[in-house]
């Protein structure tokens, strides 16, 4: 197969260097079409019009310099091989680009026709090989995920049946049991629950591998989640005579996170901490801010257990990894828990790490983004360095028609939220993350860059799209309320960031007032 490129895009702003490369290409054995541009913007346009066989790229251009040049080219045309043209003084930068995905680099002063032709041919071959390997890897992952998903679902049915009948026997509904019979059945039930947990982890890991693991961030108080997780694990800790403490600074701001998923992470970390901590030990959950990273909240779970070796620390978040030094009785899972925790925290734009020394306990720490309405609003309520002229707050309420709600209420409101997000203009409107924990009534808010007179077009579009959701009318009552966001406009030239903060504070006040009224009405109804 001929791997010699037929069409080359040369991105070089130095006319002398560009002429040298052209001349070397003409001297080559195979005919090559060469298009030459001097700026990155022109190169990106050319990649849009007609992707070439290969790009010869100078990293330092008039409108872009360094690794950012290569990154933008790769984003525009990820399947086109790239060979970097380097000067003697930036060969180190070229080597760095190779580590980040460039197929090869050439020093301009050392380019010969043979060397250039060889580099281009090898670059095309490497890119073709990488595509083949990537395709094979994806097919392998897809096959594995389908197999695991199928087996997991097939196992659930008999396990559910076993669980139901064992529970029925333990409850005495099939007649009295002798003490030893009850003990044996409790052992069976414990094993069934363990298998259920393994299957759940397998399904979650499969979703993570295939990119289907989802989080639904909300504006929440982290303290309440920590208290809930500790309360859930307290009986397990008490049975091992292990104390659990909470260290939480009440000044910590709200975070943007999925409460169910963060509870899942906390439970997993607490369960591991309790499992590997001896009797009379202690587990502590802390939350804090760091001066070096004010946009994140850090949560740590510390234990006084046996600690983790250096080798295990490097692998502990990998799929299916289990520490070979752990006590056999403590191996009650598949080694997927920490892998799932890592993927969930990544989906929150955070990070999870471990610090530990053998014999001195372990500390697992993960970070979550602070909820900053000003940062979320800034791209949509500003235009060309100024605040847009007017804004409205659109409130969308979904209230179940029955108690309990018909069908899967979580799936219903999630579908409604996804539909709502498709109804807005991404550059001018923002669907706020849901506030607080999920409840029987869901309220969503949209900040729209329009005025009350024109907002009717948006609300009509939202209502029409939401009412198209299958069976929504039979499950929930839909109400849409629009209010103007009234604020004092700063004089021209005032700090734009301060103006955005002012609008964000006003929106926050309106949302809190609305939610406060609704919660008050709900309390009275009870």
Q: What is the pLDDT of residue 524?
A: 38
Who contacts 69 (Cβ-Cβ below 8 Å, separation ≥6)? Answer: 40, 57, 58, 59, 60, 61
Task: Place 1 in a pLDDT band, splitting at 50, 70 and 90.
Answer: very low
Of 50-59, 225-234, 264-273, 357-366, the range with the lowest mean pLDDT is 50-59
Choice between 117 and 334, residue whose per-residue pLDDT is larger = 117
Peptide bond into 194 cis (omega under 30): no
Check: CB of residue 482 under 8 Å from CB of residue 394. yes
Q: From CA 399, how far away is CA 439, in angstroms rounded? A: 10
Of 158-167, 194-203, 439-448, the range with the lowest mean pLDDT is 194-203
Task: For the chain, give the percent of residues with pLDDT over 70.
Answer: 87
Q: Helices 337-347 and 259-275: crossing angle, nearest 10°?
A: 150
239-258 pLDDT, tens digit each: 999 999 999 887 788 899 99
Task: Place 520 in a pLDDT band, splitting at 50, 70 and 90.
Answer: very low
Q: What is the pLDDT of residue 97?
A: 64
Q: What is the pLDDT of residue 3?
A: 61
256-273 pLDDT, tens digit each: 999 889 999 999 999 999
Structure tokens at 103: 């197929």
Choice between 23 and 475, residue whose per-residue pLDDT is larger = 475
The residues pairing with 84 across neighbouring beta strands, listed in sequence order, are 57, 105
166-212 pLDDT, tens digit each: 888 888 888 888 888 888 888 888 888 777 777 777 777 777 766 77
Check: CB of residue 57 under 8 Å from CB of residue 82. yes
Cβ neighbours of 218 (radius 10 Å):
21
Of 27-36, 220-229, 272-281, the range with the lowest mean pLDDT is 27-36
Cβ neighbours of 509 (radius 10 Å):
11
Q: What is the pLDDT of residue 369?
A: 93
Check: CB of residue 433 under 8 Å from CB of residue 218. yes
């Amino acid at each position: 197969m001929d791997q010699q490129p037929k069409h080359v895009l040369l991105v070089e702003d130095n006319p002398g260097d560009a002429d040298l490369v052209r001349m070397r290409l003409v001297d080559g054995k195979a005919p090559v079409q060469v298009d030459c541009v001097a700026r990155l913007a022109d190169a990106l346009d050319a990649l849009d019009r007609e992707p070439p066989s290969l790009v010869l790229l100078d990293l330092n251009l008039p409108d872009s310099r360094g690794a950012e040049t290569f990154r933008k080219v790769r984003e525009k045309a990820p399947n086109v091989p790239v060979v970097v043209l380097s000067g003697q003084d930036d060969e180190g930068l070229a080597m760095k680009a190779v580590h980040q995905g460039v197929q090869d680099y050439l020093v301009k002063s050392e380019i010969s026709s043979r060397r250039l032709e060889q580099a281009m041919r090898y670059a095309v071959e490497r890119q073709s090989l990488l595509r083949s390997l990537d395709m094979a890897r994806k097919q392998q992952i897809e096959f594995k995920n389908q197999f695991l998903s199928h087996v997991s679902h097939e196992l659930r049915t008999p396990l559910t049946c076993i669980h139901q009948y064992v529970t029925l026997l333990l409850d005495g509904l099939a007649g009295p049991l002798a003490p030893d019979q009850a003990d044996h059945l409790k052992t069976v039930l414990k094993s069934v629950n363990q298998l259920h947990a393994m299957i759940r982890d397998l399904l979650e890991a499969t979703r993570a591998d295939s990119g289907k693991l989802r989080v639904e961030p909300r504006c929440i108080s982290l303290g309440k989640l920590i208290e809930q997780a500790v309360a859930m694990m307290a009986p397990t800790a008490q049975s091992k005579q292990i104390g659990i403490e909470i260290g939480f600074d009440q000044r910590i701001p709200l975070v943007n996170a999925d409460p169910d998923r963060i509870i899942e992470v906390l439970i997993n970390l607490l369960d591991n901490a309790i499992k590997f901590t001896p009797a009379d030990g202690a587990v502590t959950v802390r939350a804090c801010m760091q001066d070096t990273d004010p946009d994140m909240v850090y949560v740590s779970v510390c234990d006084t257990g046996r600690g983790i070796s250096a080798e295990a620390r490097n692998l502990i978040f990998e799929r299916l990894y289990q520490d070979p030094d752990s006590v056999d009785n403590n191996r009650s899972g598949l080694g997927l828990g920490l892998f799932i925790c890592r993927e969930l925290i990544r989906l929150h734009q955070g990070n999870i790490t471990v610090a530990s020394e053998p014999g001195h306990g372990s500390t697992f720490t993960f970070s979550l983004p602070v909820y900053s309405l000003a940062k979320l609003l800034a791209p949509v309520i500003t235009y060309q360095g100024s605040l847009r002229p007017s804004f409205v707050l659109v409130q969308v309420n979904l209230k179940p028609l029955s108690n309990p709600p018909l069908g899967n209420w979580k799936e219903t409101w999630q579908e409604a939220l996804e539909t709502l997000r498709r109804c807005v203009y991404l550059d001018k409107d923002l669907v706020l993350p849901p506030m607080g924990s999920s409840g029987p009534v869901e309220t969503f808010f949209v900040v729209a860059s329009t005025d009350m007179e024109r907002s009717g077009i948006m609300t009509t579009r939202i209502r029409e799209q939401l009412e198209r959701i299958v069976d929504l009318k039979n499950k929930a009552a839909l109400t849409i309320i629009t209010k103007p966001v009234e604020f004092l406009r700063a004089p021209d030239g005032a700090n734009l960031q301060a103006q955005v903060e002012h609008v964000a504070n006003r929106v926050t006040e309106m949302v809190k007032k609305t939610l406060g009224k609704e919660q008050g009405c709900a309390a009275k109804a009870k």
